[in-house]
Each structure stands twice: as structure tokens, then as C-alpha cells.
Structure 1
Amino acid sequence: MRQRITFVHEPQDGIDPKSIGIHTNTLSVSGLKAAREDHITLSLDELPQELRVALSQTKELHIRYVTAASYESIPPFNSKLSPGLHVYYTPKTEVGKEGQEFSDLLCGLIDTLFDLKDKSLCQTPEISFTSLPSKSPKHKSSYEFYLRSSALGGTSALQSYFKRICSSTSCLTRISEGATAASIDLDYISTTGLASLTTSWSPRTWPSFAISKISHTDRVELGILSNEKPIRLDDLNMSGFLTVLGESEKPAPTMFQFPSRHHRHPAKFSSSFIEPTGLHPTLQLTIRDSQPPKNREGCSLNAHLMLPRSVFPDKYQFRDALFMASKNLTALRHVTVPVDLEAPEYTMALWGSSLLVELAPPPPSEESWTAEIPLHLRYLLPSESGYSSTSLPSPVLFWACEADEESKLEGSPFDRVNLGYDGLFGDKTLFYHLGRERGEEGYKEVSVPVLSTRFNGEMEVGTALVVALGFGWVLWKLWGVGRGVGYGSGRGGGGKVEGKEE
């Protein structure tokens, strides 16, 4: 097991390296205000047997869990995802082919780790997942799955599961701290044979922190770093102290520079539904300014949405140039296919759909502006009140820019890939993320008109009465017609014919 714990703080929040306590197999630090990332790397042999068997049947698996709470980011932890559970899966063979045993195990694994409230939400990749293309040759096309936080039992099941891997006090404490994390990533790539667990926290004050080696073969690294002014445009420059537990007698000063794929943009945004919503709600994005990233040209501003099965886009609406211009939109860059435009929500097997839209910002200024994304609601199950509700996770907004030719983005020790939208761009793409406005909720609720069950009994009786009356009226009309032209009318062809008298 390899562990890397990284604290990143602002320059004014630095600490005295003498306050870092280093003992034979234990390290402690207190009173540090910083963002934190724990990265644990494990071989398959170190995993529980059922997880080891399952992962051995897949090519790649990337699971991302993001909290719904609003949080701040600090370089190099700037990547963003909509709140909820994201799963990206690449099978060894094409889904549905013989030998793909993991296909039947994947949804069971997700349920074990995140406690699905409704087991029918995830059945098999063939039924519940959608196809996700990729423009990057390094990231193969995969299958995508998403669930809102409300469909999960939280991270308690995940914490209980990983407590089976370690038993030391410090390890158990760190797993318990995952409940307050901003994001949790699980990754497995068959070519390396390694699995990793990455947990990230937004900047906060850590009253105390201690870590111990689990076994003598473990490698534990601790870094306390600060962001410095970068030398190159695409890079991050960091300085601070590094310590290897059991090898370092005191923190070693360090300074290094590396390229970064994800950056922070100073603009903020908020989202809301235009009232009244009806069955065709419009999501309005309010963006604080339209300034592109500094010293960058040819950048595009994009919105990436994860739409649960109750909400869907109509790609044909995005083909009208005048309509798009009126909404401050440029183009539809990606939408899950196929999207059934007629199916009710309760008949759907797929998780939903993902949407990438390029926005059309006005000329650069610091004034707020809006963009509108048209959406549609599926029919939901009837309710007594005649209304139901669904929620849409907050979208991710970012400027996408081309990096310099000499940039090697994969050289970052904190590089975060396989986020769904990044595969829709080239390998040399930089992402400048806009943050959510302070207090902006992770999910937007929308009221949906549905069939009311309040008067079901009266409606059933009334319907039966109307049908009976209508059937009686039809019989009465048929009887009347039969009397007028039938055998009993006296005017038909059934009367006696008299012969002619000679």
C-alpha cells in the first residue's frame, strides 16, 4: 500500500516545519489551514476478494462521488463534477459479449459501496448504462452511469467497506473523515493492475492530524505545499516540505513545477428554473462576467449537465440557429443517444442522459449575463396532490482552451481525468472552471404536474357509468333501426305476395 497525503495552503497560511512531529512510524501536524488530498494506491492482492475478482474482469473502472454541498477549491484541486455518483466503465470486451462476467457484478458492486435505495436503478450496463464516446485516443469510449445523491445511502456503506482493508486507529480515523470530503474517487486500470482511492477536502483548519504505518512494507508520503507564482502559463509552481514516514528525520524543503489540466476561473455562476416551469422547464444560467481566461485565445465556454431520467433534452431544438442565438447558446456539442422523447419516467431503464452545450457569451465585460437551456420533463407516477417533484444537479461550467504544444498535461501528480466531459475534448485541452455562487444549492427542485389520484374512486365510478350509458344508447339506436327496416316492420320483403287474377 502506498499513501500520499497532500496539504495545500495559501502562502499566508504557512506553518513552521518544526511543528511537524516525526517519530519512527508516526507523523503528526496540527493547526494547519489547507485543502487536503489523500491518495491510496493498492494492488489487487490487497483488496477484499469479491472486489478483486470483480475488477479482474474489467479494463477500466472510474467511480466519482461528489458532495452536494458548496465548496471552494484551490490549485491543483480545481476539477469539477456535478454532485452525485458518476461511474465510467470500459469492459475488456464489448458489452453483451460472452466472457464479460463483470457486467453482472458491476451494479452489485455499486450497491455494496453506496447502498442504492432502489435496486432497479442499476441492473446491468447493457440495461442501465449509456454509451459515452471519447475524442481522446488515450481514453477509450466507455459506458456512463449517474445517480443523484438522494438515490444513495450516502458514504457510510463505502466507509464500512474500506474499513475491512485497514485496522489501525489512524487509518480508521481517516476513513471516517471521508464523510466530510468534497469528493471521493475510485479508479482501476487493468494495464497497471493497481486500484486507487482518492479523497479530497476543501480548504479548512485541521486542529490535529496523525498518521501511522499499517505495515513495514507501506510507503507513506506527506506533503505540505503552497502555491507560488508559475513561470509558464499552463503550469503550477509549488513549494513546501515533503516527508517520507520511516525514512525522513525532518521535513525536506522542496519546490517543483508541473503542468495542470484544470484551473480556476474567477467568474461565478448560479442556475435556476424560469417560472412557471410546466412540463417544458428552462434552466437559466446567470454568469457573473464574460471574460475568457487571461492570455488565452480561441477558448469556448461550455455547460455540462447530468440529467436524471425524469428530465431530457430534445436535440432537434438545438438545430435552429435563431432559437440558439436567442438563448445565448452556440451549439450542442454532445447529447446521449438515443433519447426516448415519449417514454414516461417509470418505464425507463437507462439512468438518464448527459448534455454538453457551448454557450455564446457577449463581448468581454464584467457585467452579469444569462444563458437558457431548454429541457423537458417526462410523465411521472400519479400523486394525490396532482403534483410531484424532481431535481436537477447543478451543471459544470468551464472555459475549454487549447494548451501549448509543448505542454505535457499528464505530468501532473494531481492530474484528474475520466470525468465524462473531458473525453469529449482533445488531450491538449485546458479547463478553466467557474465556481458556484456562495449559497448555491447542489440540486434544483422543479415541480411536475401529474395525474391526481385524489378522486380516483369517483372517477372510476363515473367512467363506468358513462361507458354503461353509452353502451345502452348504442343498443337503443340499433333496436330502433331494426324496428324500422327489419322483419317486424311490415314494410320489408317478408309479406305475402298475391297472385294476378285471370
Structure 2
Amino acid sequence: MKQRTTYLVSDTLATHPDNFDISPTSLQIKSLHAAREDRLAIGYDELSAEIQDVLKQCNELLIRWSTGRPYTSVDPFAARVPAGLHIHLRPQRDVVPSICDTVNVAFGITDCRGFAESFIPISGVENAYQFYAPVRSIDMFATFVADHLCTGMNSWECATGVESADYVDLKWDAISQMIVVNTFWSKSGEPQGAVAVNVQEPRNIEVGVLGNDRPIAEESLTMGGVLHVVGKDDRMEPVMFTFPARHHSSPATYSLTTSKPPGLHPKLQLSIAHTQPLKAPGDECTLNAYFTLPRGLFIDKYQLSPTNPQLLESLNIKRILGVNGETDLEAPVWASKRWGSSLLVEVDTARASNGLDMELPLHLRYLEPKHDSTLSEVNFTMPAVFWACRSEEWSKMVSSPFDRLHLGWEHLFPEQTMYYHLSPSEDAWKSVPVPVLDLQQAMLVKIGTVVVIVSGFLWVVWKTCAAFTGGKKVGAGEKKTQ
């Protein structure tokens, strides 16, 4: 088992030797004002039997959760996914993973009803599937981690405070036979005060207090500060290193609003703000928005196809890069078994100045009726928005100690791509009201519908008979005159 904790500071005084107290079993940091990432690597044999049973069915498993609270992207932890729970899964050949029971317990949900019923194949990627659920709180997962991943570990090693994290990543691959859990707190600039790291027995706990320096190369990040292995080193070791980075932060922010009133065809308006003229980070960059839409919402792929260029131009959409999941135009929500759909849109920046608006037309499915109400809500989250740029150093990016892969859209871009992520300026969770049938009025609606249909039928019959009878009389009269 290994643990790495990285504090990202902006004040160089935080790395001064006087800020640290070192003993054979602990490290104390007297004053700290920093973002933090914990990385915990756990071997297969150290896991509970329940977790082992799930993992042995998977070649690769990535579980990501992101908060809906706004926080600012910061290098090297700039990569983002839409708020909620994301699962990327590559099962073993000819195996149907029994993962849903564990996911439901871990996150306190009921959305995962079985692998075949809930997971969506990822188009263009062999034997890869994805699942999404709008999980707003990670409190249940914090308890699950303590019970199943942190057995025999003290509170520090169990990453106390997971429930307040901005994002949590859990990665497993069958080759390394390791689970790696990354947890990130931006803290929004709040001081953390003193921090103590203790080891009760020999373990590999590495602590870094680092800051961003001016990059040596355009596609790289340069970090400097001090490192310390608790219980092993007798002093803080100065360090500076440079690495090509796949993900970078962008200074621009964005917000999302819905049309008022939304009706059955709501429109999402994505607004991108910038204090200066909106400019791409490089010459070969595109601006993109990645949406995760619940079952109640969907897009019409044919409406937004390249054969309708005038509509796309009016919406500031350059093209739809990829759609996965439920896109049936007629199915009600109870006939759509899987969680929903994912959508990648390339934004048209031709008319961008200090900001840019893009509009995405959506459609609502018929929802289940309710008791004592004629309205329901469909909840969804803001997209992840980023620039995708051609990279010359792409082959070296795997050497980054902070790299993040399989965020949901990379397979739709060339391998030679890096990303600049924008930050949401508001809470990510949104909703639209939807008219539904009130079950208490259902019988009245049925009777009214029958009355209208029968009345209409009788009216058509009466008109048909009248026309037929009138035609016969006129014919007879004409024949008699002749």
C-alpha cells in the first residue's frame, strides 16, 4: 500500500524549512493554505472479498464522482467531468459483471439495475461501457471506503474528509492488480491551519508541498517545492520537475440556463464569459461541451445533423461529435431502460468576442404520472467545457504523475490532443418542470377522452351520411328533369 499527498500552494513561505516539524513517525506542517490531492494505491490482496469478487470480472474499471459545487480549476488538477457519478467499464470477455449491487450500496442509489439494463456501450471503443447517475452527495461512499478499502488503516490514511471533496477517482486495471483512489479538495482558497501526518507502522506515505512555476515548455507544467517520506526521511527534500501535461486550466468560466417556460422542448443556453476577447489557447484548438443527459431528456440527432447547416449556425453549434445512449425519438421514459445519453458538441467560435452563447435544443420524454400533482422535474447537470488542441508532446504525457484518462470524450479526439478546461461559475445542478398526468384525475381524463373520441366518430358518421343522402337526392332530381 502506498499513499501520496500533494499540497498545491501559491505562497513560497509554505515550503520554508521553519514551517515543518519532523519526527521519526510524523510530519507536522505549521501553516498551510493549499489545494490538496490524496492518492492511495491498494493491492488486490488488501481488499475485502466483496470488492475482489467485483474486480476479478473487470479488465478495467474507473469510477469518478464530481461535486456540483463551483470550484476553480487549478493545474495540474484541471481535468473535469460533469457533476455526479461516472463509471467506465471494460469487463472480462464473456463475463456479465455483477457490479450494480456494489455501486448502489456504495453511493446510496437505486439507478444501477443490472449491467445489461443500465450500462451503455461506448461507440467506437471495443468492449467498453459507461454508466452515469446524478449523485449529489458522496457521504455514503466515504463510509463504504472506510469499511472496504481502508481496513486496518488510521484516519489519515483513510483520507478523512472524502465527503467534502471536489472530485474522487477510483481506478482498477487487471494488469497492475491495484486500486488507485485519487481525492481532490480545492478548498476554494480557505486556510487549513496546521496539518499533522502520522504513521503507526512502517508505510510509504509521501507528502509534497509544491507550487506552479513558469513552464519551461508550452505544453508542460513546472512544479517546485519540497517532498518528504514520513517515517523515512529526516528532512524536507527540495525538488523541481517539468512534465508534459494532458490537461490544463483555462481562465474562462461558463454558466447554463434553460428557456422560460421550458415546455416540452426546452433549450439549454451555454454562456461562456471571459474578461478579454475569447481566444483559443492555440492555432489548432476547438471549443467543446460534453453533456450527460438523463433518460427524460434527449436530442434529435436528425434535427442537429450536418444537413441542417443554417440551424446549427443559428445555435452556434459547429457540429455534433458523438452521441451515446438513449436517442429513441418516440419512447416514453418508462420504455428507456438505460440511464440516458452522453453528447459531445463542438461550439462554433466564429462570432466569439468577450463571450459566447451556444443553444442546445432538447426534447422531453413522457414521464410517469404522479399523485396530487401535474408537474414533475427532470434533473440534469451542466456540461464539462474545454478546448481541445493539437499536441506535439502527446507521446510523453503518460509520464505525468497527475494524469487523468477516460473522462468520457477522449476517444472522440486524436491521441495527439491536450485539453484546456473551463470552470463553471455557478452550482452545476439544474432542473426543468415537466407536465405529467395526475393519477387522481386519471379516470376523468379517460372518460373525457372516450367522450371526445366517440363524439368525433359520431360527427364524422353523421356528416358522411348527410353528404351521401344529399347526393342521392340531387341525382334523382336531375334524372327526373331530363
Normalised TM-score (structure 2): 0.88
Query: 1:9: which partner in 2?
Result: 9
Residue 410 of structure 1: SS of its match in structure 2? helix
Provide the rounded CA distance (Å) in 1 between the counterparts of 2:114 and 2:339.
11
Contact 1:166/1:214 (<8 A) preserved: no
Query: 1:42: which partner in 2?
Result: 42
C-alpha displacement at 1:57, in angstroms?
Answer: 1.9
Question: Structure 2: which amino acid aligns with 1:373?
Answer: L
Contact 1:133/1:424 (<8 A) preserved: no
Aligned equivalent of 2:231, options 239, 246, 254: 246
Query: 1:323: which partner in 2?
Result: 311
Provide the rounded CA distance (Å) in 1 between the counterparts of 2:268 and 2:26.
51
C-alpha displacement at 1:141, in angstroms?
Answer: 5.2
For these two proteins, the number of residue pairs brought into alignment is 451
Aligned equivalent of 1:373, options 345, 360, 370: 360
C-alpha displacement at 1:170, in angstroms?
Answer: 3.0
Query: 1:125: which partner in 2?
Result: 115
1:341 to 2:326 alignment: no
C-alpha displacement at 1:212, in angstroms?
Answer: 2.4
C-alpha displacement at 1:348, in angstroms?
Answer: 2.1
Provide the rounded CA distance (Å) in 2 between the counterparts of 1:401 and 1:198.
26
Change (3 A) 1:231 1:164: closer
C-alpha displacement at 1:106, in angstroms?
Answer: 0.7
Aligned equivalent of 2:249, options 254, 264, 284: 264
Deviates more, 1:449-458 or 1:257-266: 449-458
Contact 1:19/1:30 (<8 A) preserved: yes
Provide the rounded CA distance (Å) in 1 between the counterparts of 2:49 and 2:357.
51
Contact 2:326/2:340 (<8 A) preserved: no
Provide the rounded CA distance (Å) in 2 between the counterparts of 1:30 and 1:162.
32
Provide the rounded CA distance (Å) in 1 between the counterparts of 2:201 and 2:124.
40
Per-residue deviation, residues 44-92 of structure 1 (Å, max 9, x unmatched) = 0111111112212210000001111111221100001100000000012
Provide the rounded CA distance (Å) in 1 between the counterparts of 2:41 and 2:336.
37
Contact 2:150/2:157 (<8 A) preserved: no
RMSD: 2.5
Query: 2:467: which partner in 1?
Result: none
Provide the rounded CA distance (Å) in 1 between the counterparts of 2:213 and 2:362.
43
Change (3 A) 1:347 1:9: same
Query: 1:292: which partner in 2?
Result: 279
Query: 1:499: which partner in 2?
Result: none
Provide the rounded CA distance (Å) in 1 between the counterparts of 2:393 and 2:332.
48
Normalised TM-score (structure 1): 0.84
Change (3 A) 1:453 1:28: same
1:400 to 2:384 alignment: no
Question: Structure 1: which amino acid aligns with 2:243?
Answer: F
Contact 1:82/1:306 (<8 A) preserved: yes
Aligned equivalent of 1:313, options 286, 295, 299: 299
Per-residue deviation, residues 143-198 of structure 1 (Å, max 9, x unmatched) = 000000259875344344346523424335x33x1111001111101111111111
Aligned equivalent of 2:435, options 446, 449, 453: 449
1:180 to 2:167 alignment: no
Question: Structure 1: which amino acid aligns with 2:212?
Answer: N
Query: 1:281: which partner in 2?
Result: 266
Question: Structure 2: which amino acid aligns with 1:122?
Answer: C
Query: 2:374: which partner in 1?
Result: 386
Provide the rounded CA distance (Å) in 2 between the counterparts of 1:63 and 1:286.
29
Contact 1:399/1:431 (<8 A) preserved: yes
Per-residue deviation, residues 243-267 of structure 1 (Å, max 9, x unmatched) = 0112210101111001111111111
Deviates more, 1:160-169 or 1:337-346: 160-169
Alignment of 1:408-423 (within 5 A): 408-423=396-411
C-alpha displacement at 1:445, in angstroms?
Answer: 1.2
Query: 1:108: which partner in 2?
Result: 101
Per-residue deviation, residues 302-348 of structure 1 (Å, max 9, x unmatched) = 01000111111111111111110010010010001562221111232
Aligned equivalent of 2:342, options 338, 349, 354: 354
Per-residue deviation, residues 408-463 of structure 1 (Å, max 9, x unmatched) = 111100001111112222222111111112xx121111111122334335445666
Provide the rounded CA distance (Å) in 2 between the counterparts of 1:468 and 1:375.
31
Change (3 A) 1:467 1:413: closer
Provide the rounded CA distance (Å) in 1 between the counterparts of 2:329 and 2:138.
27
Per-residue deviation, residues 83-137 of structure 1 (Å, max 9, x unmatched) = 00000000121xxx3xx15x1x210121221121x3xx212222211111357xx
Aligned equivalent of 1:190, options 144, 160, 174: 174
Question: Structure 2: which amino acid aligns with 1:314?
Answer: D
Query: 1:433: which partner in 2?
Result: 421
Question: Structure 1: which amino acid aligns with 2:403?
Answer: D
Per-residue deviation, residues 267-307 of structure 1 (Å, max 9, x unmatched) = 1111111112111111001111463344x111110010001
Change (3 A) 1:376 1:460: closer
Q: List runs of 5+ in structure 2 lacking aligned partners.
A: 463-482
Aligned equivalent of 1:332, options 289, 314, 320: 320
Query: 2:216: which partner in 1?
Result: 231
Contact 1:283/1:372 (<8 A) preserved: yes
Contact 1:187/1:197 (<8 A) preserved: yes
Change (3 A) 1:310 1:157: farther
Change (3 A) 1:402 1:122: same
Question: Structure 1: which amino acid aligns with 2:8?
Answer: V
Query: 2:412: which partner in 1?
Result: 424
Residue 257 of structure 1: SS of its match in structure 2? strand
Q: List runs of 5+ in structure 1 lacking aligned partners.
A: 478-502
Provide the rounded CA distance (Å) in 1 between the counterparts of 2:452 and 2:437.
21
State the percentage of identical aligned residues.
33
Residue 312 of structure 2: SS of its match in structure 1? helix
Residue 62 of structure 2: SS of its match in structure 1? strand
Contact 1:133/1:141 (<8 A) preserved: no
Provide the rounded CA distance (Å) in 1 between the counterparts of 2:7 and 2:124.
33
Question: Structure 2: which amino acid aligns with 1:231?
Answer: I
Question: Structure 2: which amino acid aligns with 1:131?
Answer: P
Residue 28 of structure 2: SS of its match in structure 1? strand
Residue 206 of structure 1: SS of its match in structure 2? coil
Provide the rounded CA distance (Å) in 1 between the counterparts of 2:259 and 2:405.
34
C-alpha displacement at 1:387, in angstroms?
Answer: 1.2
Residue 408 of structure 1: SS of its match in structure 2? helix
Question: Structure 2: which amino acid aligns with 1:251?
Answer: M
Contact 1:114/1:157 (<8 A) preserved: no
Residue 279 of structure 2: SS of its match in structure 1? coil
